[in-house]
Structure 1
């Protein structure tokens, strides 16, 4: 390893396993046709039988190149690419139990379609008696990957003008569209849906969120003072982790989005404070000058933003100031960079760590997804207007339909608290009394209705209720949802009651 003439400067920091992985790639039969960057990425794959299968299958290497061309510029996506390749490698390993010389390209021939179905089911752990999968997501992912591999085969056949290859790939797609749902995806989707029955989604407690905010404020303050006095590795990492977690909690952002904020996004943020403030209240205008806004890339390439308080901005400026002193490489483009590395601090690890430290009653609920659901649930309770709901969904970085279907208050809560009001009214035959009311208004004056019904029973039995004053009669009329006598007019009702007394 020390004397290898082909060792690059980047390989000096790598270990023995890295060198052996590169050597395995170079020994593979199809390695010469692949790009060096792809081979280096695949050298991190766990060196086992599946890795050997991947290195020696031309279609899998082409698929890896295709994914690398799309996502390879982002190092954080390399693990995703390796995972997708290993899934197909496991499928090919299952296929070779029956046909030792099988390749992915052979598996996608129409004559091997049924064998491919059996291999996918076996890889995903299909139980024929129960008609469900142990890991249904694997079956669905393999279907999507096989379609992409077939597209790659089709493109190469078109370039080579291979008529037989073109016909074969088109025939496979015809079989896939006609039979894949019947044999694989329908059962997989049913298994996923069945696992969601009676599965509750608990939201974090308000007290726990408050404790976490207080704990993060203290940690940020202590770490900032320590970093100003002496630039140590511990103080730098403590401030970076606390600030990262604080931004995630405050903005209810996905941890991956905040973790991968680029340094240039923070430095190029708009600090002019020249917002268009016409139509805003005084309080809203003050908020515009209080917060700073940083735009970043969210899920599916959407542009999302985070709002920074003055304390967050001070902490981030201190981190940027101490980057070079703490040994953060110039090539590291992330704001929350790890010293002497090209990677960043992981938001989910930081959030889990601080949730356990803050003394929360239910620390396992303090996760970014649950906090985002809490925010969406609050928006439902506030009964926001459509345009306000659009703004909230856009800030959270997802479509309004996704916001309503997956992030709002869970169906069990809605059915138990809201829809049950209608069912009770139908059961008691009181539907006419709630006519024209919203779900929020139904049941708000239940006690008044019960008192009114007792008064009606007393009148019908000849036991006249005591009326102290005309104001009590008017008040009782206002609180009664159904008329007590022949007339709905309050003044006539007053005269009738006085006549009875």
Structure 2
């Protein structure tokens, strides 16, 4: 036998489904559907009343003298408070008007529910209107024509002081509609306020009339309600699922998401997702593959919400239905939706050209920002206006993004509190001992601000003194330039609660600075630029960790997405290995890494510009077997007048190849090299050409007769010898 709570849950679910069907049929504008929808809501024609009688909120009877009638209800607290005030006082009139609106609101609600009677409205419309064109004020509960509500709201006496900001017509209608929604008591007021900003169209109407979508909005608000910058993300997710439900209603006769997640409707739900995402059956291609993936995550979340609702109402049938849908989702969704969508996404990235910005363009942007920020700084000091404030705010915002290579959204949302609490302490004496003089000056030169980055990570922003001066000026001129006191952002916009968007400012300045490729000057491209070029510095692992931590991502992400472009890596590094294998020179490269392989030393290159003059010297300390190859490479690099001499030397070496003249290393030369590369030899690590050139320059008198390649070969051979001795022991 089914429990009473389960029976009540089924009745409430059935009522919600009927209401959703009725709302959906009205939105579509079909004549036959409209007739069916009207039967669900009203059974008779509703008229509008303009008489002077008001309805008592206690007994519900119309009264021409409501103040006199209320004396019969003196036991009510509100009535006693109103009638105890002085006669003809403003407070008494306001209280009585509130009681009139309260009674009229109860009467109008009853009329709309039963579909019969006369509505008590506050202002006569200029033309004949249907009952659906009237709406109650969300503050005083008076009934007005929908198109005139925004005028009344400007002077509504019951409007709280916190909502003194003038709101547009669309937002006013959204707030009024949601205040009258049947789901308003189950959803927090903050969610309704978040949804009121949405564009008033078919999609927003679907969102506000489906309980499952509203509960999804409530779930998002519970997680991100403390961060107003996430509200746009929440609205975007709700509109995505609203588009899906609108398609389900129009093409598959499914009027709610609770009905959509039933196992019997799984295939129709699949087709609806494909339809919304632009799926082509012939080419197996999605126009919006990311939308299909996002809808899958939202539907799984909605199924969990409905499952929790079923558990609380002890609806066994709905519990079984949601559990079955979860099994279908885990086993079939990847096959039907996700796999094809991911394939479409990956194919779109094939042969994608490199988008790294050029150094000349970055320098051009820096110079342009310096000039723009300086002019805006002087202009704001002279004239305090929202225009001059906006110019300096955008310039400073863009300078911080470009200098720090920070995500544009992170800097744009920097709180004013974080800037005021920036680290201004002097460098600790004990810490300064481990820094050079130049590094100590840098610590005193820059200011450091910590903000919240992606995934809640703490990231740092470095501010130069001129940027700090500009920000201090912006903070001091906030009230004079119209910035609201309640706006918590550092780069706040005047007369609103939002902030300037760094990506928009960066895009505008990149187009104006005169760069050759302004489309590459974006925050993401600049971040890849600094992370990619940091590889050229041959940084150690701990130094790479520091770069990744400053950029605000994990070292694994740094290695996977911020290295040299894949095409460059394959052309420059893997090709060396393939050429060495093709020419049979791989044994001569034993113990070397891809970065240490110098392929032109082993293989004759056809490009004359590919050779390095420093590497053209004879390899005095080269291993056996490499002399022939090296001599061939040297012959290609020598002047024409020395060809005869070289041919005679090669002829003598051919008769007795092991009697080549060899210049032995002196003790002074060995000591000079060991001073720089002792650690390399002990660990068996190869020296780079750059390190060898630095060693040659530092020990110039002693190593004057040795090339950088000679030094490199000495370190390699000495390391091999040490390794062999260790193995023999």
TM-score normalised according to structure 1 size? 0.89
- Choose the corresponding residue for 1:152, options 296, 305, 308: 305
1:292 alignment partner, one of 426, 436, 447: 447
- Is the 8 Å Cα contact of residues 261 and 334 (structure 1) preserved in structure 2? yes
RMSD over aligned CA atoms reads 2.8
Equivalent of residue 3 in structure 1, options 152, 174, 190: 152
Matched, 1:452 2:634: yes
- Contact residue 29 and residue 55 of structure 1 kept, 8 A: no
- Indicate the larger mover: 261-270 or 428-437: 428-437
In the alignment, what sits opposite 2:436? 281
Distance 1:100 1:260, change over 3 A: same
1:78 aligns with 2:227: no
C-alpha distance in 2, partners of 1:160/1:278? 67
- Within 5 A, what are the aligned runs for 1:39-118? 39-118=192-271
Identify unmatched segments of 5+ residues in structure 2. Answer: 1-149, 602-610, 617-629, 637-642, 655-660, 666-704, 719-729
- Worse-matched range after superposition: 369-378 or 78-87: 78-87
CA distance in 2 between partners of 1:99 and 1:236 (Å): 53
Q: 1:267 to 1:480 in 2, by over 3 A?
A: closer
Whether the 8 Å CA contact 2:450–2:460 is kept in 1: the answer is yes
Inter-partner Cα distance in structure 2 for 1:165 and 1:204: 55
Shift of the 347–458 alpha-carbon distance from structure 1 to 2, 3 Å rule, reads: farther
Residue in structure 2 matched with residue 492 of structure 1 by the alignment: none
Which one of the candidate residues 537, 543, 547 is aligned to 1:388? 543
Report the Cα offset of residue 458 of structure 1: 6.1
Which of 346, 364, 368 aligns to 2:523? It is: 368
- Deviation at 1:35? 2.6
Q: Deviation of residue 324 (structure 1)?
A: 1.7
SS in structure 2 of the partner of residue 293 of structure 1? strand
Counterpart CA distance in 2 for 1:384 and 1:51 is 52
**Superposition pairs of residues 17-28 of structure 1, within 5 angstroms:** 17-28=170-181
Q: Deviations over 1:311-346 (max 9, x none)?
A: 111111111111122121110111111122211111
Q: Distance in 2 between matches of 1:443 and 1:476?
A: 18
Counterpart position of 1:30: 183
Does structure 2 conserve the Cα–Cα contact (< 8 Å) formed by 1:204 and 1:365?
yes
Give the whole-Å Cα distance in 2 for the aligned partners of 1:77 and 1:260.
Answer: 11
1:169 equivalent to 2:351? Answer: no
Q: Contact (CA 8 Å) 1:452, 1:480: kept in 2 or not?
A: no
Distance 1:143 1:388 in 2: 40
**What is residue 199 of structure 1 aligned with on the other side?**
352
In structure 2, relative to structure 1, the CA distance for the partners of 1:364 and 1:458 (3 Å cut) is farther
- 1:238 corresponding residue in structure 2: 391
Aligned twin of 2:76:
none
Q: Does 2:423 correspond to 1:270?
A: yes
Q: Does 1:255 align with 2:437?
A: no
Distance 1:339 1:479 in 2: 64
Counterpart secondary structure, 2:580:
helix
Secondary structure class of the residue paired with 1:305: strand
Task: Return the offset for 1:433.
Answer: 2.8
Q: How does 1:214-229 map to 2 (within 5 A)?
A: 214-229=367-382
- 1:233-292 CA-partner distances (Å, limit 9, x unpaired): 222111111111000000000000001110110101111123433422222222111111
Out of 357, 377, 380, which is 2:532 matched to?
377
Secondary structure of residue in 2 paired with 1:33: coil
Structure 1 runs not aligned, ≥5 long: 465-469, 490-501
2:591 to 417, 436, 448: 436
| Native 8 Å contact 1:244 1:259 kept in 2 | yes
1-side partners of 2:708 and 2:231: how far apart? 68
CA drift of 1:93 comes to: 1.6
Name the structure 1 match of 2:496.
341
Superposition TM-score, scaled by structure 2 size: 0.62
Task: Give the match for residue 121 of structure 1.
Answer: 274
Deviation larger for 234-243 or 24-33: 24-33
Q: Which has the higher contact order (CA 8 A, sep 6+)?
A: 1
Per-residue deviation, 1:476: 9.3
Partner SS state of residue 498, structure 2: coil
TM-fit CA distance, 1:218: 1.0
Secondary structure, counterpart of 2:424 in structure 1: coil
Query: Is contact 1:294–1:307 with CA below 8 Å preserved after alignment?
Result: yes
Number of equivalent positions:
481
Indicate how the Cα distance of structure 1 residues 280 and 20 shifts in structure 2: closer, same or farther if over 3 A, else same: same
User: Secondary structure, in 3 states, of the residue corresponding to 2:432?
Assistant: coil
**Secondary structure of the residue that 1:294 maps to in structure 2?**
strand
Alignment of 1:413-492 (within 5 A): 413-443=568-598, 446=601, 447=611, 448=616, 449=630, 450-452=632-634, 459=649
1:20 Cα deviation after fit: 2.1
Residue in 1 aligned with 2:168?
15
Inter-CA distance 458–169: structure 2 relative to 1 (3 Å threshold): farther
